């Protein structure tokens, strides 16, 4: 009951983006994918969710990705998109409701509304139910989308399907610091309750704080994989990101990554 990827190769035309990447993620953990721009971390995510044609094998909960029917996958996996465009003037309630519709059938309208309210509370958007989605700021839209995605796989573990998987593509890219922490805590909590979370991240400190396992991608290959202590090393990071970084430790065993000036490197 994991996500396993073996020998993932992706090429856009003649340009090869990933050269045989292995990746795995376990339920109950937050697995972070990090790497510099153009390293292929988003492409890896897209291969894991079947959005790009890739060589190699991806399996989810013990069954090959391609052998899951679309509705089967929707029951165990939800994807938070980076793109937050919406074609028609739906309200926040209606957008989040689309997630409810995509998930397991709920008993009645009351349960549906309760679910929508809970999800909006979880992403700190109480009182937004009646607002038009298209009138919201980028960060608010991102949180509405997260609420929608959460509604689709509300239960981190289901009897029938096993663990659920939350894929987050740069989930905090347009959020303020308070909401960055809030959303990452929400993701970590989802994992604590038995679900699996896979996130593409830019911020190394949030990665250090919330990642249980980290896969560091560089030039289409895995540069390092393991716990934060194993992956976040001064030399490894400097090598991959091309600038000097200082890893330290703060109380509660959290690591932090302090950037140094490039010229000082």
Residues engaged in binding other proteins (CB under 8 A): 49, 51, 70-75, 77-79, 81, 83, 85-95, 97-99, 101-102, 108-110, 113, 116-117, 129-131, 152
Q: 229, 238, 235: which is closest to 256 by C-alpha?
A: 229
And the tokens for 210? 């919330």
CA atoms of 35 and 37, how far apart (whole Å)? 7
Closer CB to other proteins, 105 or 262, in the complex:
105
Nearer to other proteins, 47 or 79 (CB): 79
Compute the distance between CA of residue 114 and CA of residue 209 in angstroms, rounded to an integer. 31
| Shortest separation between residue 141's beta carbon and other proteins, angstroms | 11
Phi, psi (degrees; rounded to nearest 5) at 21: -90, 135
User: To the nearest whole angstrom, how small is the minimum distance from the Cβ of residue 120 to other proteins?
Assistant: 10
Smallest distance from the beta carbon of 131 to other proteins, in angstroms? 7
Burial class (CB in 10 A: 0-12, 13-18, 19+), 195: buried
- Residue 99 CA to residue 262 CA, distance in Å, equals 44
Nearer to other proteins, 72 or 221 (CB): 72
CB of 84 to other proteins, least distance (A): 9
Shortest gap between Cβ of 58 and other proteins (angstroms)? 15
**Dihedral sign, CA of 228, 231, 236, 241?**
negative
Residue closer to other proteins, measured from CB, 91 or 219:
91
Residues 130 and 136: their CA atoms lie apart, in Å, by 12
The smaller minimum CB distance to other proteins, of residues 13 and 251, is found at 13
Give the sign of the dihedral formed by CA 203, CA 208, CA 214, CA 216: positive
Residue 156 token pair: 């981190």
Measure the N-to-C terminal CA separation of the chain; round to a whole number of Å. 43
Q: Which is nearer to other proteins, 83 or 235 (CB)?
A: 83
CB of 149 to other proteins, least distance (A): 8
Residues making up the chain, counted from first to last: 265
Nearer CB in complex with other proteins: 107/177:
107
């Amino acid at each position: 009951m994991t996500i396993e990827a073996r020998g993932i190769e992706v090429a856009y035309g003649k340009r090869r983006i990933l050269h045989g990447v292995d990746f795995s993620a376990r339920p109950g953990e937050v697995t972070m994918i990090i790497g510099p721009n153009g390293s292929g971390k988003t492409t890896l995510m897209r291969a894991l969710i079947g959005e790009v044609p890739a060589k190699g094998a991806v399996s989810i909960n013990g069954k090959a990705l391609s052998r899951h029917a679309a509705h089967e996958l929707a029951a165990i996996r939800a994807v938070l998109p980076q793109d937050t465009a919406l074609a028609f003037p739906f309200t926040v309630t209606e957008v989040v409701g689309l997630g409810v519709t995509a998930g397991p059938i709920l008993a009645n309208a009351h349960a549906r509304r309760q679910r929508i309210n809970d999800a909006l509370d979880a992403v700190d958007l109480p009182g937004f139910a009646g607002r038009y989605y298209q009138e919201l700021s980028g960060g608010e839209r991102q949180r509405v989308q997260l609420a929608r995605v959460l509604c689709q796989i509300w239960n981190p573990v289901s009897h029938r399907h096993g663990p659920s998987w939350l894929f987050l593509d740069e989930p905090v890219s347009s959020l303020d610091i308070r909401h960055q922490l809030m959303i990452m805590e929400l993701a970590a909590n989802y994992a604590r309750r038995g679900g699996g979370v896979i996130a593409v991240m830019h911020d190394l400190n949030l990665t250090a704080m919330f990642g249980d396992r980290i896969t560091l991608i560089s030039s289409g290959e895995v540069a390092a994989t393991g716990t934060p202590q194993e992956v976040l090393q001064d030399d490894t990071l400097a090598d991959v990101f091309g600038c000097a970084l200082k890893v330290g430790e703060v109380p509660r065993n959290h690591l932090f990554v302090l950037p140094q000036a490039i010229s000082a490197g």
